């Protein structure tokens, strides 16, 4: 498959995937609010912090195995890929076991120290719901490695399509569960069942795509060391998401209450729908970008990277303009006027969208080159500073203070990630803008040739 065809296929499926993801985030919220109420829903969001933190820990070793496997397979080193696959399965299985142990420890400590007593949801329901959510997350640990099968076979679009199917099923099942009047236990059980079915189908299809039948993989100490070293870096990368998203949720809950959590998180969800739009660019280029990097075709890598970054900035700007003119009306309709957005908080989130567009696409460089530590250290540091600022400012300025605290993160990352990504690829930052006309001519030629 050619690079152009691969990107187009990935792009089409990525659009579908992001639309489904946006619908997943947006459609169920009114049903949650009407079925559970703002306070109950806010408490549910707070409880979901626990499985979310454990889910983020998977992406460390999972990403390390996946990226190492793809780079080896793309370079034609199939025996090395087979060895990495075998070692990766062992490490991921150990991660699942460790996650199960952590689940038992966390829930036991929570019950013994009466951490769930202050929740408006009954303690038994809390423990059951969190248990099912965590187990579902643990089982999904294997999906990272299987994603590498699809990317190595240049069938990343198929893997993304299967992921979209899972999201659609989750939405439909969620509607049914809420319509039947189930609480958090029923909802968690339904998501758990869907997760088991998806992982089974995903692994079955992915394993048939790669050509490793004639290679017997071995568990090597060197591979385990490599995966562990890289994995620690990737583990820090999702940690920033845990600290930033779940941390700010917890800060708002502690300082302003559960109803404010519902307001803050729904605003952020709507604004990050724009992030989903330019994340489509990442999903479109990353599989082929990494494959070409593995083959050593740097001229193609540089061109694709330049085009993707600039297009992401343009998309972020257009998305922000759309929300400026229509966002508040959409929010009122979406939440059925149950929640109200302060005007100053809204404008802070608008600025955050623009800053996020500057650096978000550049992050693919760290995964592509399998060099996670640059981003991991900076993102974690920035997330800690951001959550700290949110806590301090929210005590004095309410939701506005929490919003300003989140803006600090995007500001720090915008000034760090883009130059550092260019450096990893052997480029200068100014080259992103020096070849605009040449890249435009290249795209125009590709379009005319195709149509």
pLDDT in tens, 215-239: 888 899 889 988 888 888 887 776 7
CA dist., res. 106 & res. 312, Å (int): 40
Q: Which two tokens stand for residue 69?
A: 């496997």
pLDDT at 450 exceeding the cut of 60: no
pLDDT band at 52 (very low <50, low <70, confident <90, very high): low
Residue 56 pLDDT class (50, 70, 90 cuts): low
Comparing CA positions, the residue from 174, 191, 261, 210 lying closest to residue 74 is 210
| pLDDT higher than 90, residue 144 | no
> What's the helix, strand, coil split of the chain in %, to 5?
85, 0, 15
Contact between 407 and 348 (Cβ < 8 Å): yes
Q: What are the CA-CA distances from residue 166 to residues 9, 173, 288, 410, 438 (Å)?
A: 19, 10, 24, 30, 40
Cα–Cα distance between 91 and 72 in angstroms, integer?
Answer: 18
Q: Where does residue 119 fall: left (phi above 0), alpha (psi -120 to 50 degrees), or beta otherwise?
A: beta
- Residue 100 tokens, joined: 């199960």
- For 71-100, letters b (16+ CB in 10 Å) and e give bbbbeeebebbbbbbbbbeebbeebbeebe
pLDDT tens for each residue of 156-196: 888 888 988 888 898 899 889 888 888 888 988 998 999 88
The chain-wide mean pLDDT, for the chain, equals: 85
| Domain with 264 in it | 3-450
For 348-382, the pLDDT digits (tens) are: 999 999 999 989 989 999 988 988 888 989 999 99
**What's residue 109's pLDDT?**
84
**Number of structural domains the chain divides into:** 1
CA 234 remoteness from chain centre: 13
Residue 333, number of CB atoms within 10 A of its CB? 10
**Best CA proximity match to 309, nearest among 282, 343, 347, 331:** 282
First to last CA, the chain: 18
Q: What is the pLDDT of residues 10-21, one digit of tens each?
A: 778 877 877 887
pLDDT in tens, 303-348: 889 888 888 899 889 999 999 999 999 998 888 888 888 899 999 9
What is the token pair recorded at 236? 């820090």
Structure tokens at 96: 């699942």
Question: Looking at 127-136, 283-292, 439-448, which range is the least confident one?
Answer: 439-448
Residue 87 CA to residue 225 CA, distance in Å, equals: 10
């Amino acid at each position: 498959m050619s690079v152009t065809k691969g990107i187009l296929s990935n792009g089409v499926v990525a659009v579908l995937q992001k639309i489904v993801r946006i619908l997943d985030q947006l459609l169920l919220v009114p049903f949650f609010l009407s079925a559970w109420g703002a306070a109950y829903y806010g408490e549910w969001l707070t409880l979901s912090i626990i499985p979310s933190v454990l889910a983020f820990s998977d992406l460390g070793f999972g990403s390390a195995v996946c990226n190492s496997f793809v780079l080896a397979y793309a370079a034609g080193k199939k025996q090395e890929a087979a060895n990495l696959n075998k070692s990766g399965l062992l490490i991921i299985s150990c991660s699942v076991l460790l996650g199960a142990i952590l689940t038992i420890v966390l829930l036991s400590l929570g019950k013994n120290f009466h951490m769930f007593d202050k929740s408006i949801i009954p303690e038994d329901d809390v423990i059951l719901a969190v248990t099912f959510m965590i187990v579902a997350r643990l089982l999904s640990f294997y999906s990272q490695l299987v994603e590498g099968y699809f990317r190595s076979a240049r069938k990343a679009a198929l893997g993304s399509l299967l992921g979209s199917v899972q999201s659609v099923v989750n939405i439909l099942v969620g509607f049914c569960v809420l319509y039947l009047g189930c609480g958090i236990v029923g909802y968690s059980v339904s998501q758990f069942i869907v997760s088991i079915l998806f992982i089974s189908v995903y692994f079955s299809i992915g394993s048939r795509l790669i050509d490793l039948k004639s290679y017997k993989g071995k568990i090597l100490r060197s591979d385990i060391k490599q995966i562990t070293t890289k994995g620690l870096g990737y583990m820090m990368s999702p940690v920033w998401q845990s600290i930033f998203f779940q941390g700010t949720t917890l800060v708002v809950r502690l300082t302003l209450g559960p109803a404010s959590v519902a307001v803050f998180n729904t605003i952020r969800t709507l604004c990050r729908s724009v992030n989903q739009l330019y994340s489509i660019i990442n999903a479109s280029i990353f599989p082929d970008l990494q494959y070409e990097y593995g083959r050593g075709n740097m001229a193609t890598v540089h061109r694709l990277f330049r085009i993707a970054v600039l297009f992401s900035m343009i998309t972020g700007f257009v998305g922000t303009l759309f929300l400026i003119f229509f966002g508040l009306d959409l929010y009122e309709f979406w939440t059925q006027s149950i929640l109200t957005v302060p005007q100053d908080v809204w404008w802070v989130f608008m600025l955050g969208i623009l800053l996020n567009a500057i650096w978000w696409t550049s992050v693919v460089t760290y995964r592509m080159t399998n060099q996670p530590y640059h981003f991991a250290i900076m993102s974690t540091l920035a997330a800690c500073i951001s959550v700290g600022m949110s806590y301090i400012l929210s005590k004095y300025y309410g939701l506005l203070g929490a919003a300003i605290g989140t803006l600090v993160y995007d500001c720090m990352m915008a000034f760090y990630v883009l130059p550092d990504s260019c450096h990893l690829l052997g480029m200068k930052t100014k080259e992103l803008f020096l070849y605009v006309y040449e890249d435009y001519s290249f795209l125009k030629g590709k379009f005319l040739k195709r149509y």
